[in-house]
Structure 1
Amino acid sequence: MTNFDQQSTVQNKFQTRQRRERIFLIASILIVVAAWFYGYYANGIEITPLVPDVLPGTEYIETQGDLFIGYAADNTIVGYAAAGEGAGYSGPIKILVGVDPSGAITGVKTIKQRETPSFFRLVMNANILADMIDKQVSDPFQLGEDINAVSGATLSVEGIAASTREAIRIIARKGLDQSGPAEIFSFKFGIPEITLILLFAAGYFGHKMSNSAWKRRTRWASLLTGMVVLGFIYTAPFTITMVVSLLSGYWPDWHNNLYWYLLIGGILFVTTVNAKNPYCHWFCPFGAVQECVGLITKPKSYRPRNYITALKWFQRGLTLAAVVLGLILRRPGVAGYEPFATLFDFEGTGIQWAFLALILIASLIVYRPFCSYLCPLDAVVDLIGAIRKWMREVKRKWQNQNV
């Protein structure tokens, strides 16, 4: 075979691979759009039948817009009910609240939630809703005042508190002619946000270092900081849940969730502009854990020539399936298959603990096995890179045609 034939064969293989990837890209976008519309129109909920659950003794219900009035058999008013919605960690939480004519809470019920299952389970085990019974509509319903925080699920509790305040304001204004609890927006900028900004900076400038020794030291300092601060202390790594929340339109209030916007925005912006992903290589908490375990045996990357393409497509397919499932069910938390919460929060089922153990054992044999073959962020970065490359190619062809 001549050099020309060899070059032609290589070029044909490249074009075939590129064509296959672009077909997958277009198909993925179409599937995600279809899943979005299906989830949007298939997840409604009828509130009226649930009103007696928060207004005991109700025989029939009158609806006045978003206010529900419960009546007893003798036509006396049992109380008023309304639903409110607040942003949790991975999606909205909708709460139905019942109040008697004196302004006392008679019942609180979750009617819809799109929260990460492990976080919401922590909140339910803490009996947050039951503790609200008998409170007055004039109470603040603020986290840290009359609502207790739950370790490991702070954003979930804030979402419940916000949705409860919204429901009570509707009842107070339309049913009791009162004002209800005030909505206080507290801007939160603390250690997690500062750490994240510094880690992005470390990844940006560290990548440009010419001294290999200092580059390695900077990277390890960044990795360990990410593992300890973003992982074990605050449990705030990047997850596929964030992507599904973003696509679903479940954007949390930025006053209380600036970290969410910094992490998502930082990764998307840097990856789109520079085609670089500093998060994975420089400060991913779970990536750091795998590398720390790997220090025992110093494993190498395992990229079997016969299977690497199949493994890469499996990773992309798994990510697409998780995103589609989350959009269809409108529950971003269901899409998360990463073992992060199991490790950093020490919360998980037997299967989740077994999966985590398998990954850690594999880290002794293969360099970053989860990152290499399962992590959804890798597939998301590949998608952004493919779109970026295709757009640049189209732009270049358009410019050449107009020369």
Structure 2
Amino acid sequence: MKINIRHAAFFTAALLLTAAIALSRDGRLLGMTPGGSNEGETRTEWTAADGSRLISTEELAKDVLGFGGSVPLHIYMREGHVVRVEALDNYETPPFFAQVARDILPAWNGLTADEALKKEVAAVSGATISSRAVIENFRQGMEYARGTASVPNEREYTTVRSLAALATALCGLLLPLFIKSAKYRFIQLLANTAVLGFWSGSFLSLSLLTNIAANGVKTRHAALALPLLFAAFVMPFLGKKGHYCSWMCPLGSLQELLSRLPVPKINIPAPAVKWLEYLREAVWLAMMMLMWLGVGFGLMDYELFSAFLFRRAAPLVLALAAVFFALSLVTPRPYCRFLCPTGTLIRFAQGGCTCAAAAPRAIKLSLAASFAAAPLWVAVRTFV
């Protein structure tokens, strides 16, 4: 297989971009802190200002990950009973995690460690990944509190939902290589929307990519993303550019299904399409720059993918989703073509930006160099 040098260069730059954001946000790559420094090691227990025994799960459960990363807790105890549980700063999607904090954290108040460990606390519907991470953090905190070994809970939540998501992803990855049928495509689009989208919430996003770059594949949710990652970043090297966006992305699938409805279509002039594509790349570049600088990480939460988990999605996300779904009735995949930051990163990894393709060679090289150099600058800024 002949490797396209330009493709390989931009793919490497995309990896560096994602690594830079992970370093800037979480200070680690694939679960490791560059340099291996342990300065300022986190305490596990101390006495709080009100005299309570305070147990921190920052170190106890550092490998327990939610959707955006670790979700450490402070557990306050007095006379052997839980007084309150507080969540520390994390990178879970705020509207989702706010509901988790309201519904789950007070559930253990007033219980002893033994009672709290026996109590079954249900995950919040629509935020199960964050919920389970919080519950596991608390469990390990209580194991520590009663003096038993704090062994990470290795139970895997292998459910029908997970298996269905994996099967759907594998079908979208492999079957289009062998089946050339409009009827099959329609079925795959429906499965992507229903199973990967609304049922399991399995899709690529800047938030998920940053989480994987920072922590590695340590959770079931991250593992389910492996076929999606393969389609997005490896299939283009096999001559299948755009495979993920065309065959697996639930948001793109839903837009295409809506565009098939018998509604009069509008024809966007080619010059307008070109400028809208430039706008998409400008939005993406602005997001990357802000996150390189260590700010703006919350912008990742406003990609429209979370609209599939509509019971916990932010109102602004739902409103934007409604606008783009309405536009999908009259023009094909408007979010994919004119805004999607994750899709732009995938396109960039396949060989650069639309605006860069039309630029002189010197500008192309300068753009590639800047994308490669910026992550190194972030690393130096963060750790030196």
- Normalised to the residue count of structure 2, the TM-score between the two structures is 0.72
Deviations 1:49-87 (A, max 9, x none): xxxxxxxxxxxxxx9943213477xxxx64343233431
Amino acid paired to 2:167:
L
2:128 matched to 1:154?
A: yes
Residue number in structure 1 paired with 2:71 = 93
1:328: Cα distance to partner? 5.3
Counterpart check, 1:216 vs 2:185: no
2:112 counterpart (136, 139, 164): 136
CA contact (8 A) 1:200 1:278 kept: no
Q: Residues 178-327 of structure 1: matches in 2 within 5 Å?
A: 178-179=147-148, 183-209=152-178, 212=180, 215-247=181-213, 249-251=214-216, 253-254=218-219, 257-297=222-262, 304-325=269-290
2: CA distance, partners of 1:136 / 1:167: 12
Instruction: Note closer, same or farther for the CA distance 1:28–1:68 as it changes in structure 2 (3 Å cut).
Output: same
Does the aligned pair in 1 maintain the 2:196–2:203 contact within 8 Å? yes
Alignment of 1:32-111 (within 5 A): 37-40=23-26, 65-70=43-48, 78-84=52-58, 85=62, 86-100=64-78, 102-111=79-88
Could you list the per-position Cα deviations for residues 289-334 of structure 1 after superposition, in whole angstroms to 9, with x for gaps in the alignment?
2222222246779664324443333223323433454565588664
What displacement does 1:339 show?
Answer: 2.4
Secondary structure of the equivalent of 2:276?
helix
C-alpha contact (below 8 Å) 1:326/1:332 kept by paired residues: yes
Q: Tell which deviates more after alignment, 114-123 or 264-273.
A: 264-273
Alignment of 1:111-126 (within 5 A): 111-126=88-103
2:185 is aligned with what amino acid?
R
Indicate how the Cα distance of structure 1 residues 119 and 273 shifts in structure 2: closer, same or farther if over 3 A, else same.
farther
What is the deviation of 1:161? 1.5
TM-score, normalization by structure 1 = 0.69
- Native 8 Å contact 2:208 2:222 kept in 1: no
How big is the shift at 1:376?
2.4
CA contact (8 A) 1:315 1:376 kept: yes
In 1, Cα distance between equivalents of 2:278 and 2:101: 38
Match of 1:12 in 2: none
Kindly tell me: are residues 64 and 170 of structure 1, through their superposed partners in 2, closer, same or farther at Cα, counting changes over 3 Å?
farther
Give the corresponding residue for 2:137.
163
- What's 2:341 paired with? 376
Structure whose CA Rg is larger: 1
> Secondary structure of 1:113's match?
coil
Structure 2: distance between partners of 1:261 and 1:22: 20
Q: Aligned-pair distance for 1:189?
A: 3.3
Gap runs ≥5 in structure 1: 1-17, 42-62, 173-177, 390-403
Gaps of 5+ in 2: 28-40, 358-384
Number of positions where the alignment pairs a residue of Structure 1 with one of Structure 2:
334
3-state SS, counterpart of residue 244 of structure 1: helix
How far does residue 366 in structure 1 lie from its aligned partner after superposition? 0.8
Tell me the percent identity. 19
